Amino acid sequence: MLNKKQFRYKTFFTTLLAVIISASFGVQISAQVCGISGAKLCVPDAGALSVGTFEFEPSFSVFSSANRFCESGKTECLGGENITSSVMFRLTAGVTEGLEVGTAFSSTIEQISFGGKYIFTDLEKFNLAFISGISLPAGNKFIADTLVYDEHHLMSSFGSIASLELTDYSSLDFIFSYTRIHGVHPFNNILNYGIGVGDWFTEKFQGVVELNGFSTYNGKLQSHKLSVNPGITYKTSDRLLFVFGFQFDLLGKNEDKGYAYYSAFTITL
């Protein structure tokens, strides 16, 4: 007979195995819509901020790559290490019941994004939400040292999120979105997908594992990448959440292969 703690750990790792199996069959989900809240790392949940609640979140990320996925999907050496970084800021507010809106921008203000999340289905253990957003070029062009892809282009996105409460301590989130890059661009269509599982080991500490990917195409599939993101969230108080995670690229085509680390502080007002 498993005790309560053993049961929680077994549930978490069983769910993680299911996530990995699902990803191998092409589960497709996303996080291209910016400015919306989340409860894990990169994959947002299908919940919305309460009316009158406001979130401010500064975050940073660093990506390092010395290899690349070639046309066949095999890995080839770049001949050196490329390191890029990004500092981002997010502001999100609960507007009405089940609706939140927000904005996100980088420290260089090269691109400003706006997004919203609306809950369609709000059941006891299952939520379904619709997300949409737009990203506008801000006119500034600095050294290409950020992780914000496809800057200086008008982009529009929409998609959906599904969240499932597995137990009193664990949950599963799925997200899928489509992004259209308007104007002259080699890849005008992007599909983004992600799946994340989290387990609250204590009242303040949550372990998280996510799988994130994207596919770009223009008439036919051009490139794609799938990455795994392990990390944690830690509630220092009811108004402050600390997030820390890693990204390890698993497979892809015509994309850099590497690893990243990122962190964020979510401040609730």
Q: What domains appear along the chain, each with residue ranges and CATH number? A: 4-268 (2.40.160.40)
Largest CA distance in the chain: 63
Is residue 213 within 8 A of residue 193, CB to CB? The reply is: yes
> Does residue 25 surpass a pLDDT of 80?
no
pLDDT tens string 158-175? 999 999 999 999 999 999
Half-sphere exposure of 72 (CA within 13 A, CB side): 3
Distance CA 106, CA 78 (A): 27
pLDDT: which is higher, 214 or 110: 214
> pTM for the full model?
0.82
> Does residue 197 surpass a pLDDT of 80?
yes
Q: Tell me which of 77-81, 114-118, 229-233 is least confident.
A: 77-81
> Does residue 24 surpass a pLDDT of 70?
no
* For the ranges 28-37, 112-121, 143-152, the one whose mean pLDDT is highest: 112-121
Burial annotation 229-247 (CB, 10 A radius, 16+ → b, else e): bebbbebeeeeebebebeb
> Residue 151 — pLDDT band, cuts 50, 70, 90?
low
Nearest to 179 by CA among 192, 166, 168: 192
Distance CA 180, CA 65 (A): 27
